[in-house]
Each structure stands twice: as C-alpha cells, then as structure tokens.
Amino acid sequence: MRYSLIFSVLLLLPFGAHAQKVQTLLRGGEKIVAPGGITARVVQGKMLPNLERKIVQSSSFIQMRHHVQTPVRFSSNLPLNLSNPTFALERAALEEYTDIMSQFRKFKKEMDPLLYYQARSSSYRKLEPAEKRQWLDRLAEMKLKLDILTITVSPEEKNLAAARQYIAYATETVEPLLEGINLQRFSFERTDRVLKKDEFFLRSPSQVDGVIQPPQGLEVIIVNDDSSVLSALQAAHDKGELFAGNHLYTYRSVKKLLQHIEQDGLKPDFILTDMMLPGGSGYYLTTSLRLQERNIPVIALSGYPEDESIAQEMFSHGLDGLVSLPVDFSGTKDWIKRLDKALTNYVYYRQINGWSR
C-alpha cells in the first residue's frame, strides 16, 4: 500500500519529475520535497501535503505576477543613449523600442518567404521592377525606423543589431547593387544656422528693442496621439489663447501627416510634434521631411530636459527647436502660453538671424 501511494504521487508530479531525486525514506514524519516545490510528510502511513509551506519557483506564474506588480525601472536592461534619463524618458524609450521591434517582426514574417526562395538556386528568380521597387520602399521605411531607434537605444542592443543586419541582408538580396549599404542613422549637415542653446530651447531673448509681435497668417500643425491634448489645444486656439491670427491643424498620426504632405500637397509653415508616437516617432517625421528636402521647421514637444547634448542630437537630425514640457503637461498651468510664446520666439530668432527655415 505504501509503495502504491508513492507511485500515485509520482504520477501527479510535473513531467520529468520522475527522473529527479525525491528526498524521502518513508519514515514517520519525514518531509518529502518533490520537484516543483511540492512538500509533504508521512504521518501514520498517510501522506499530508504542506500547502502552507509551498515553495514558489522564481519562474512560476505567481512569482512573475508578483514581479509585474512591483514598481521597477522598465528599461533597466535596455541600453540607452540618453544621459541620466528620467523614469518617464526610460519608459517612453522602452515603449518606442517595443513598438518598432513589433513592426519589424511583422515585416520579417512577410519578408522571410522571399528570402528563402531567393537563396535557393532552384527557386531563384529575377524580380520584376515593380515588385523590386515595392520591396525596396518597404525595406527603406523599416530601415529608417530602426536607424531612428538608435538615437535613444544603443545600436549594440542585440535585438536591434540583429534587426538592422537582417534589413541589410534583405536589401542586398532584393537589389544586389546595394550590397554594403551603410546602416548608420541619418544626420544632416546644418548649414542653415548655428546651434545656440537659448534659441534652440526657444527661450525668450534677454534683450529686445520693443515688443516681439506674434506671427500672423501661418499654418501650424501639432502632432500628438493624445486626443484630450489635441482637444485642449483646439479649444485654446478657438478662444484666441493659442496661435491667434494663425491656422491650427492637429494630427494623431505621423503616417497620416506625411501622406497629406507627400500626396496631397500640404505645405504647413510649422510643425510641432510629440517625439514618442505610435507608427513613427518625431525623428521619423523629421528625417522623412529632410530626405525629401522639405524645408518645414519642426519643433519637438517633449519631456526631454533642456540638455545641451540632447539639443545637439536633435539639431543634427533635422529638428529646429525643443519645447520641454513635463510628462503630464496638460495638467499643469501655463503650458498653452509656453507653446504660444515658443512659436513667437522662433519667428523672432529666424528674422534677426536670417534662418532659411
């Protein structure tokens, strides 16, 4: 009976537990430690489980759930290029990383079959020009997103590095003439102006002759994925508190804005954009415009601090200014006035310095 009982318990253990050592000799009161954290003891010929002393393995669902509920630094294992980032910036960088890498995985799933057959001599075929163009356009778009991601995340991060290598291999497969394509992120030589901190952060000038007049008749676009923020901005504009005398348009999607610019001929005078956006960051928007030689000023609205290294990074990637706002800026006072003043200051600096955009 005693051995039958042992056999029954072993059958209930997790798969593979039979091969592991169970520390027991059926002596009265001796504790049995089974794989998976199950503990029991034999008392007067009966096996009693010690449920109250159950050991939870670190990889168990319960332990994982406990860790999720514990406040942690989301990007503690994600190597970032940011100097002394705040918790909010780390979280935003991780969200952008997660979003772009998710897009890459979906793209790879579509790309893999073509690469497989092109790699086999028996199934290799010369791609038609239209098909080749389509794949190259999609590869270029994916490459741009990954390149922009290296602004905040180290390019040495293993998943990001592997994704960029994959895009290079796929590009060479679709078009062998592009073998050895440079995967460095885009930067632009700025001949239009010299970087000065006060001007880039759109601070009010210290010495001004007279009163700075707000601009009039401009078409201004604000990009933000938070509909409540856009509603507040539109309401402020309608009441004459924001960009009075100018036209305001709002977008939640970078992709939609680029479509209207590239296909519908939209020509805004200014773009103010959030930097962390689904489907394409503020860097993606700016790089796309600069590669198309569109001379539209782009001002970042972000929680980035007014740091000189951040200014240099943004400036070299085509951005023209930064309005540093707290993460929960819509709940703070005077943020509408800060945006309104930032546009006025940019136009003033452009006039006195002769900037080309």
Residue 312 lies inside a defined structural domain of this protein: yes
Instruction: Give pLDDT, residue 251.
Output: 95
Residue 240 lies inside a defined structural domain of this protein: yes
Q: At which residue do the structure tokens 């790309």 appear?
A: 111
Query: Which positions ≥6 away from 109 have C-beta within 8 Å?
Result: none
Task: Give yes or no: residues 265 and 339 share one domain.
Answer: yes
Instruction: Give pLDDT, residue 109.
Output: 92
Instruction: Give pLDDT, residue 45.
Output: 55
Task: Give yes or no: residues 225 and 347 share one domain.
Answer: yes
Task: Give yes or no: residues 119 and 233 share one domain.
Answer: no
Q: Which long-range contacts (CB under 8 A, 24 or more apart) does 31-39 make?
A: 34/9, 38/13
Query: Which positions ≥6 away from 235 have C-beta within 8 Å?
Result: none
Q: How many domains does the chain have?
A: 3
Instruction: Give pLDDT, residue 11.
Output: 43
Helix (H) or strand (E) holding 286: helix 282-291
If DSSP codes are grouped into helix, strand and coil, which group holds residue 339?
helix
Instruction: Give pLDDT, residue 240.
Output: 94
Largest Cα–Cα separation, the chain:
102
Residue 75 lies inside a defined structural domain of this protein: no
Residue 61 lies inside a defined structural domain of this protein: no
Over the chain (357 residues), the average pLDDT of each successive run of 10 is 44 42 40 47 53 38 31 57 80 89 93 86 81 86 88 87 87 69 60 95 86 92 91 93 96 89 92 80 84 92 83 90 78 82 96 94
Task: Give yes or no: residues 6 and 151 share one domain.
Answer: no
Task: Give yes or no: residues 205 and 314 share one domain.
Answer: yes
**CA–CA gap between residue 194 and residue 215 (Å, rounded):** 23
Q: Interhelix angle for 158-174 vs 87-118, to 10°?
A: 30
Instruction: Give pLDDT, residue 246.
Output: 97
Q: Which residues lie across from 223 on neighbouring strands?
A: 251, 273
Residue 186 lies inside a defined structural domain of this protein: no
Q: What are phi and psi of 47, to 5 degrees?
A: -95, 115
Q: Provide the domain limits for residue 170.
A: 87-178
Asked if residues 325 and 335 have their Cβ atoms less than 8 Å apart, the reply is yes
Task: Give yes or no: residues 104 and 48 share one domain.
Answer: no
Task: Give yes or no: residues 223 and 308 share one domain.
Answer: yes
Instruction: Give pLDDT, residue 345.
Output: 96
Residue 108 lies inside a defined structural domain of this protein: yes
Task: Give yes or no: residues 211 and 315 share one domain.
Answer: yes
Instruction: Give pLDDT, residue 236.
Output: 92
